[in-house]
Amino acid sequence: MANLVPRENREVLTLRDAIDRLFEESFVRPWSQLGVSEGRGMPLDVIDEGDHIAVEATLPGVKAEEVDVRIEGNTVSIRAESKRDKETSEDKYTYRERYHGVVQRSFTLPSEVDSEKAEAKLENGVLRLLLPKVERAKTHKITVATK
């Protein structure tokens, strides 16, 4: 859908992008019904893997030192800041879509985790968190005895 626009028509494209973004941010918020705060550009998966919960968040162009992960109770907050490598004059761009700036997302886990034993790894633009469940949050089968 993206077309290259001649330099003299860039203002129209910029206005269109601004209107599209305004519409999305004002009306389209599917994550708000899931108890998740707005997360521009940070799609994620939460996977229950038995004794731990895995979270995979897409963070393209972000370095490990630019990521901040916090766990409070069973709420995880991820904040990342993507910085431009070099500044280029605005009049040199023909087309500009890549997002630079802060993205953040908070969400509630399905069970409590032991944040002291949590692990985080960023590889190929994907942040992977391994969050061990606390003992009391694990499911235990209890055998029912007869008299």
Which helix (H) or strand (E) segment holds residue 105: the answer is strand 101-108
Q: pLDDT (tens digit, 9 = 90+) per residue, 25-75? A: 555 444 444 333 344 568 999 999 999 999 999 998 889 999 999 999 889
- What are the residue ranges spanned by the domains of the chain? 7-137
Task: Give the per-residue pLDDT at 38.
Answer: 44
Distance separating alpha carbons of residues 91 and 94, to the nearest angstrom: 8
Fold of 7-137: Immunoglobulin-like (2.60.40)
Region 123-147 average pLDDT: 85
Q: Which one of 10-14, 44-48, 79-83 scores highest in mean pLDDT?
A: 44-48
Contact 134, 116 (CB under 8 A): no
- pLDDT, average across residues 66-89: 85
